[in-house]
Amino acid sequence: MTQIIKLKTLTSTNDYAEQLLAKGEVEEGTVIWAEEQTAGKGQGANTWESEPGKNLTFSLILHPHFIHPSLQFMISKAVSLGVLEYAKTVLPGISCGLKWPNDICAGEKKLGGILIRHMISGERIVS
């Protein structure tokens, strides 16, 4: 069963996920969901703030052990293309696209961004 950890305010769901992983094994599929992020992660050193209850701000923990680290971009590509295809189904008639590496756009507006971070140990992705 997927565990959903829902919190009112966090600096970053990504930081919280990393803290859980550092403490030990975290079940695959665990979702960390915050109503508000005060210092969400963006690309590079960018941060992202959200208005409480106005955005989907969550992190999903996966353990893709079966993917070699040299192919880790394929995870980003698959997730981005999957979200794009879903956006097209719920926004018919609106031109949806990707601004690589991680922005989902509809028309001229950014719908959201996807940040995927990996932990690599030797020759495998551990999370």
> In which region does residue 83 sit, left (phi positive, over 0), alpha (psi from -120 to 50) or beta (all else)?
alpha
Q: What is the CA radius of gyration of the chain?
A: 15
The encoded tokens of residue 96 equal 């949806």
- pLDDT band (50, 70, 90) for residue 1: low
**pLDDT, position 74:** 87
Residue 5 has pLDDT above 90, yes or no: yes
**pLDDT, position 127:** 63
pTM metric for this prediction: 0.81
**pLDDT, position 56:** 86
Of 52, 55, 67, nearest in space to 116 by CA: 67
- pLDDT band (50, 70, 90) for residue 58: very high
The pLDDT tens digits of the residues spanning 87-115 come to 999 999 999 999 987 889 999 898 888 88
**pLDDT, position 105:** 94
